[in-house]
Amino acid sequence: MPAALSDRYTGCCSCRRHRGASVVTAPDVAAPRTGPSPKPGFRPDIQGLRAIAVMLVVLFHSGVAALSGGYVGVDVFFVISGFLITTHLLETLERDGRISFSSFYAKRARRILPAALLVAALTLVAAWIWMSPLLMRKVVDGAIATALYGPNYFFALQDTDYLAETTPSVYQHYWSLGIEEQFYLFWPALLAVGFWLCRRREQRVMALIAVVTALSFLACVVLMNISQPWAFFSLPTRAWELGAGGLVAFLLRSGARWLHSRFTGLLAWAGLAGLAMVALTFDGATVFPGWVAALPVLATAAMIIGGAAPGPLNATRLLGLAPLQFLGAISYSLYLVHWPLQVIPQAATFSDAPLPLEQRLALGAVAVPLAWLLYRCVERPVIGWRVLRQRRQWLTGLVAAGASFAVVVSSGAVAAVSAQQPLSTDRTAAPATATLDPAGTSFVPANIAPSLDAVAEDNPAVYGTGCHTSTYDSDPAGCRVGDSPEAPLVFLVGDSHAASWFPALETLAKEGRIRLDSNSKSSCLPLDTEQQYLAKEYTSCEQWRDGVLERIDDEQPDLVLLAMYDSPDRLQEEPGTPTHTQWQQGLAATLEQIDGPRVAVMKDVPTQARNPDECLSTHLEEAQACAVPREQAFKESLVEAEDQAIEEAGDEAARVDLTRYFCNAQTCPLVIGNTVVFRDTHHLTETFSRQMAEPLWKEIEPLVG
């Protein structure tokens, strides 16, 4: 969250001296700068640039697909913040020869913290009311990290992928505020020491800042190849963006002749075009931040430089339009409130699927009046409180520390209360048995297995043993289970849905009924067609699949069992070819390549509309409210495409359909007997999969006999 969003100045605010304030004084030997100092005053073009930045972020988070790179709005804010704060500090050093750190940090605290901590506290309350108690531990941890001014490192430690997270923290947007708060800790001292060492020669100080900025940029590029979350969230790898704004401040103070040319104003338009290009072409698959982050940073720098040029060629007339000035004024508050408005309603649906576009846009629109209220009632009034401005600066620090402590204490209280919330009823249910057309259990039983707080981690053993291939690996070596030489050899092949069937097949293998060769790879369909992962060509999937098919050809098992997630998003679109046709052709091509062994294609399990643990935790007495209607549980066009491919393959292929063990005529329950069926919206729990060993054997026994 860009802290300098609320600054209504271009660096011209006075830095009053306070008795007892800690200061660093530059030597009195001064070297006058060449050229006139820019006149202090409000710059409407920067206010308009703030508006563009916040609109990019809000519309991106509201699901506007055209602005797939709207997340660079935060980078725009970083450059603006670096420019404003450096201009202010340079003017202070020029005027007073020193920086009053207590005054500086008190002003920063009054501008940043009131709105930020209030929104953090209200977000905590809203999450407690509307979100699942199973998510409150994550919410509380985020709230505490935010109150302690380190949310960026909190998310880095969690290996958070900002652009790919399906269940993001309600405090995730505070990462940028953490960056700026930490930047403010060392930047004033760096400038003050630089002025002292360079005897107030700004050109030399600028060279020092350029070196620091370049080193930060280099660290960002290098760390991207090691750990993207740390490159994204850490101060050393993002400080260069604020440093770039600082270099613009030095440049505009240099008095360079070309800055006064009217043609320099064209830089603002070039920067605006570059920013638009980035927002429209970057997406979640862009390797970011890395070196590509330099594009929005340079575009913003160009807009700030061009906006300071005289004449009609700059973009001030456009950026000074009243709507942009309004949004720019409330941009800090708007940034704060828009994110929880998006995340909490989505989390309340207990699904990883985003809300419909029209609802997300409506929530983005609602954020505007709420931001205006926050701006008028909190952000601006607190800045002018005389009780804080006219007292010693330590009082501001004391109030800020007290407010942060209050958020931490409130978070602890919410955590304690949430931990006491029951995750089941007092009633028990009969142990689950695999039955046709299950009615499902209408409540969450006390003997539920696995418990709701363990459902999400009830994974097949292949994940822990390394038998499941990751998205980045292409090794086709499988894992063998069962050593009975007389038992038929069964190859399991597919994606994570194939891995979901491993517990059932492992049970059969340990009983000596089959020998299992398990081959599964994340997000890799066993279809011979072009596939994608994170919007990029999934080449390792093709390599892995070809390797597995070669092993099948060499070993000639008794049965090849294909299982997959019926998700059209996995396919790389072929222009002119409908998805279901591409699906059918891909399966047909795979079946054709398997020469000799019998092949069985499992019908996919029903897809749920809600995450089971989250929904059930808030519907303990009405578990059926979480069940998906049967007609919504399957992608019928893909099921029919598979059936067609199987039929065309003739006697060499068969269908394994266990739907009646998951669904009755109306619904596909989440709880059968005392067992939770799914660990998320479309993967079986290890517990339920193991219970399906006998029904699965009934289906495949005739095929291996």
DSSP for 408-441 reads: HHHHHHHHHHHHHS-SS-S---PPP---SS----
- The whole-number pLDDT of residue 16 equals 33
Enumerate the H helices of 134-174 as residue ranges: 136-147, 151-157
In terms of average pLDDT, the best of 253-262, 350-359, 390-399, 444-453 is 444-453
List pLDDT tens digits, range 574-583.
899 999 999 9
- The whole-number pLDDT of residue 2 equals 54
Given a cut of 70, whether residue 35 has pLDDT beyond it is: no
Buried b (16+ CB within 10 A) or exposed e, 358-372: eebbebbeebbebbb
In order of 43, 609, 649, the CA distances from 316 in angstroms are 9, 49, 67
Instruction: Please give the structure tokens belonging to residue 143.
Output: 């709230």
Given a cut of 70, whether residue 9 has pLDDT beyond it is: no
What is residue 548's three-state secondary structure? helix
- Position 384, amino acid: G
Instruction: Please give the structure tokens belonging to residue 463.
Output: 């994940």
What is residue 388's three-state secondary structure? helix
- For the chain, give the mean pLDDT: 91
Question: Do residues 579 and 529 lie in contact, with contact meaning Cβ atoms separated by under 8 Å?
Answer: no
Given a cut of 80, whether residue 203 has pLDDT beyond it is: yes
List pLDDT tens digits, range 79-115.
999 999 999 999 999 888 888 888 899 888 888 999 9
Using only the alpha carbons of the chain, give its radius of gyration.
Answer: 30
Helix 636-649 vs helix 579-593: crossing angle, to nearest 10: 30
The domains found in the chain, sorted by start residue, are: 44-418 (no CATH), 460-607+634-658+691-704 (3.40.50.1110)
* Spatial separation of the C-alpha atoms in residues 222 and 215, rounded to whole Å: 10
Question: Do residues 528 and 543 lie in contact, with contact meaning Cβ atoms separated by under 8 Å?
Answer: no
- Relative to beta strand 653-656, strand 598-602 is parallel
Tokens 């576009």 found at: 357
In order of 117, 147, 379, 583, 694, the CA distances from 404 in angstroms are 7, 5, 16, 54, 57
H helix count then E strand count, the chain = 27, 15
Q: Is 569 or 21 the better-scoring residue by pLDDT?
A: 569
Q: What is the mean pLDDT of residues 495-517?
A: 97
Question: Do residues 90 and 33 lie in contact, with contact meaning Cβ atoms separated by under 8 Å?
Answer: no
pLDDT-based confidence at 14, cuts 50/70/90? very low
pLDDT-based confidence at 382, cuts 50/70/90? confident
The whole-model pTM stands at: 0.86
Please count the other Cβ atoms lying within 10 Å of the Cβ belonging to residue 262.
12
Question: Do residues 493 and 676 lie in contact, with contact meaning Cβ atoms separated by under 8 Å?
Answer: no
- The whole-number pLDDT of residue 397 equals 80
List pLDDT tens digits, range 43-78.
999 999 999 999 999 999 999 999 999 999 999 999
What is residue 368's three-state secondary structure? helix
- Position 258, amino acid: W
Q: What is the mean pLDDT of residues 126-135?
A: 94
- The whole-number pLDDT of residue 102 equals 85
List pLDDT tens digits, range 427-441.
999 988 889 999 999
- Position 677, amino acid: V
Say which range, 24-28, 133-137, 583-587, has the weakest mean pLDDT. Answer: 24-28
* Spatial separation of the C-alpha atoms in residues 635 and 645, rounded to whole Å: 16
